[in-house]
Amino acid sequence: MKKNRRCFSFDVYESWIDLPAEEAGLLNKAREAVHTAYAPYSGFKVGAAALLANGAIIMGANQENASFPAGLCAERTVLAMAGAAYPGMAILKLAISYQPSSGAADRPIAPCGICRQSLQEFSQRTGSPILLVLAGMEGKAYIVPDAADLLPLAFTQDAL
């Protein structure tokens, strides 16, 4: 028997203010996108902003509908927009922020399982890792160097 271990590292910043300038700017775009979310059912608004390899920035937010929970997360909204507007273009960095209808947005949140799968496949398709910047409206921020690290043993197109 052989034992494998999969670990990953990420950076923790005590405040988003301490982030490198480019990451802080992208996070601010994600925070702007939070205000465009349509979340009347969950009350949980999420915004995302992606920096593409060509320098373009795409913003998106979660979009719910009456057949809740069948909606789109902010991350998948951005991935769809990037894929449609810039086919084959890599996403270098993706920032994610949120605002609940009640309570504080004072800690980072990570993508849901479906978004992790989508991020992993987008990254594989473009051949480029996607750096994640995760933070609320205040408090700590995380930088994850490669979104694919959030989904070990991913189901990929290679399995089909």
**32 among known catalytic residues:** no
Nearest-10 crossing angle of helices 113-126, 74-85: 20
Sorted by where each starts, the structural domains of the chain and their CATH numbers stand as 11-64+73-104+113-151 (3.40.140.10)
pTM of the model: 0.94
Residue-wise pLDDT for 110-136, tens only, equals 999 999 999 999 999 999 999 999 999
Exactly one of 32, 75, 121, 138 is catalytic; name it: 75
The closest of 105, 95, 133 to 11, measured between CA atoms, is 133
Residue-wise pLDDT for 8-66, tens only, equals 999 999 999 999 999 999 999 999 999 999 999 999 999 999 999 999 999 999 999 98
